[in-house]
Structure 1
Amino acid sequence: MTERGDRLDDDRPVRRVRAYQDAPWDPDVWPATIPAVAQVLLEGLELASGVTFLVGENGSGKSTLVEGIATAYGLPAEGGSNQGSHVTRASESPLGEWLLVERSPTAARWGFFLRAETMHGYYTYLEALGGPDAVLHSLSHGESFNELLQTKLNHPQFVAGLIVLDEPEAALSFESTLRWLANLNEMVKRGTQVLCATHSPILASLPGARLLETGEWGIRESTWEDLEIVRHWKFYLSDPQRYLRHLL
């Protein structure tokens, strides 16, 4: 298997996403009112090989985008792989119905969507199926995410395809986040394409990752040092009282 810098563009499970020509989206109706979503609908979004991080404030559209791209790819809106699905309560936006995924013809079709807020329902679905995955409900939140990392996301059986992650750091300690960072690097070397929405400056520090920052400007490419979350964390950790005296 070639390294990430040598991979051919034709190996990408997703080369680009764009709106269908006749997609019935209205620029004055959510989610098209979110600048980052509107930009993708108007201009499309190319996904590089390797890892792409969407980073931004709450409400900036990053989770809406990863959910829409995941469902347009054929993944369950509440999480899981394209080899099985479950529904508890539909809450996804219509974005996935508006998006066309441009695939590389020779790329792997397998995929997995880890959506932090709905994983309890996914574990219940797996428990009903029986088998080794039924154990996930008995683990802590972070332990279950780490188990998924080993058994689904970075398992040798699934060496390629598209992995979509929506704020996986929600369940992770500092050490577990570092573990995920190392595993993401291994997954990329094996040929996996990853799209991840995150608030974590640790995950976003992955060498070679593409960083897209969402906000009132829409989507802009950034470096790790220039991300707003990185600047805020640096300032806070260097002097917490500078923030706390305005809050408490």
Structure 2
Amino acid sequence: MAPIEEDTYVTRIPVVRHLMQRESLRLTSPVTCFVGDNGSGKSTLIEAIAIAAGFDPGGGPLRDRAFRGQIHPTHSPLSRWLTLRGRDIPMRGYFLRAETHYDTVTVFDTLPDAEQSRHEMSHGESVMSILGEQIDGAGLYIFDEPESGLSVVRQMALVAEIYQAVRRGAQFIIATHSPIMLAIPDAAIIDITEEGLEETVYEEAEAVIATREFLEDPQGTIRYILE
């Protein structure tokens, strides 16, 4: 990551502060999941990686002119200082942003080969429909909170979809709060905290611990929170 010399809000985001102190961040697993509390910078980092790889900031298929400039999210300047190294970026991929998915569906619905309006589907159905069409082997897939709008069963189905794509050569970079998404086989889990970036294991991820504690005693947990 290149030095950030200008005064910008991104330097105050925990993940950016930590990256500025490191020479690089190596992603060696076919699936990397970033976890952390709200405000830790997961989505900012995911967005910057996607833009640096050639995706449109609003999301959509990699290097697809139909999506270029059609969605106008407010995105950070972090990608200007981020350099991706390693193997060549593949020609196929998909960037899923939970916050702009509705606008992405609108673009899909205007394509000449659109058979059914995905706006006639639920949020979760449209996510699974698009990902089922876009996910393939030997591609780069960047997901920002893909669990948004998905039922528990659909999240499990997406885990299976990701696992099969990895076996065909795909690479995934995911920001998530879902303990189900974190259960993707052999996924590297990187926890972003105020103290730093640290790889953790499934059993020690905060989302897993908090969910397990709640399910073991939901009424007791609610009483504790309310009191």
Same fold at TM > 0.5: yes
* Partner of residue 94, structure 1: 77
Unaligned runs of 5+ in 1: 1-18
The alignment partner of 2:12 has SS state of coil
Distance 2:178 2:21 in 1: 28
1:108 to 73, 79, 90: 90
* Partner of residue 154, structure 2: 176
Whether the 8 Å contact between 2:182 and 2:202 is mirrored in structure 1 is yes
- Do the aligned partners of residues 240 and 61 (structure 1) sit closer, same or farther apart at CA in structure 2, a change above 3 Å counting? same
Report deviation, 1:134: 5.5
* Partner of residue 99, structure 2: 117
Whether the 8 Å contact between 2:73 and 2:100 is mirrored in structure 1 is no
2:185 maps to a residue whose letter is P
Deviation digits for residues 51-110 of structure 1 (CA, Å, limit 9, x no counterpart): 0000111111111110111011110111102223234433011111111111414x6232
The alignment partner of 1:113 has SS state of strand
Report deviation, 1:180: 0.6
2:12 maps to a residue whose letter is T
- Do the aligned partners of residues 49 and 227 (structure 1) sit closer, same or farther apart at CA in structure 2, a change above 3 Å counting? closer
Aligned length: 222
- Do the aligned partners of residues 133 and 167 (structure 1) sit closer, same or farther apart at CA in structure 2, a change above 3 Å counting? farther
Report deviation, 1:25: 4.7
CA RMSD of aligned residues (A): 1.8
1:177 maps to a residue whose letter is Q
2:41 to 55, 61, 66: 61
Whether the 8 Å contact between 2:105 and 2:126 is mirrored in structure 1 is no
* Partner of residue 34, structure 1: 13
Whether the 8 Å contact between 2:34 and 2:176 is mirrored in structure 1 is yes
**What is the aligned-residue identity percentage?**
36
The alignment partner of 1:102 has SS state of coil
* Partner of residue 188, structure 2: 210
Report deviation, 1:49: 3.8
The alignment partner of 1:168 has SS state of coil
Whether the 8 Å contact between 2:57 and 2:72 is mirrored in structure 1 is no
Report deviation, 1:133: 6.5
Whether the 8 Å contact between 2:191 and 2:200 is mirrored in structure 1 is yes
2:64 to 75, 78, 83: 83
The alignment partner of 2:95 has SS state of strand
Unaligned runs of 5+ in 2: none
Whether the 8 Å contact between 2:95 and 2:142 is mirrored in structure 1 is yes
Higher strand share: 1
Whether the 8 Å contact between 2:71 and 2:104 is mirrored in structure 1 is no
- Do the aligned partners of residues 185 and 209 (structure 1) sit closer, same or farther apart at CA in structure 2, a change above 3 Å counting? same
188-197 vs 236-245, greater mean Cα deviation? 236-245
Distance 1:111 1:126 in 2: 15
